[in-house]
Amino acid sequence: MVAGAVGAIILGFVYIFRAFRPMEAEVVLWGEVSVGLGITLGILALTVGSKRTKLRQFILGLGYTVLVVLQIPPIILWFAFHGSVPSDWPSPGPFVAHWGYAIPHIILLAISAFTLYCIFRNGSLCSQNTR
């Protein structure tokens, strides 16, 4: 659970600090939402993650479902804009989008989906305490 939260925070900071050069405000907002969700999920995972009640499963499940859904637009957009330059970038030497930038999002989606599976499954594969 913590890996997904940390991944969301790291990816969010990449967009907040504009690692891909100047970008639109909506992209920075996506980064802010990702960081906020990552912090929230990290706190929830550390405080209620080990206790298995239906309410806690629902809250964590909802959070990680949002994290999965949040990864879909960047994955699609990195593939869709592969090889192109955003038209509203004023600086010379423009940044060219590449599908490879979707890989961290795909990894975070996989981690979050596996976390969802673990939240709702009681198997030993997901728990630290195997019996």
Three-state secondary structure along 10-36? HHHHHHHCCCCCCCCHHHHHHHHHHHH
What is the pLDDT at residue 98? Answer: 85
Number of domains present in the structure of the chain: 1
What is the pLDDT at residue 127? Answer: 62
What is the pLDDT at residue 97? Answer: 78
CA distance 52 to 61: 12
Q: 45 in a domain, yes or no?
A: yes
Q: 79 in a domain, yes or no?
A: yes
Q: 128 in a domain, yes or no?
A: no
103 lies in which domain range? 2-120
What is the pLDDT at residue 19? Answer: 76
CA distance 97 to 77: 9
In the predicted model, residues of the chain with pLDDT beneath 70 are 21-23, 49-52, 86-94, 122-131
What is the pLDDT at residue 92? Answer: 52
Q: 126 in a domain, yes or no?
A: no
Q: 127 in a domain, yes or no?
A: no
Contact 31, 13 (CB under 8 A): yes
pTM (predicted TM-score): 0.83
Q: 131 in a domain, yes or no?
A: no
Q: 36 in a domain, yes or no?
A: yes
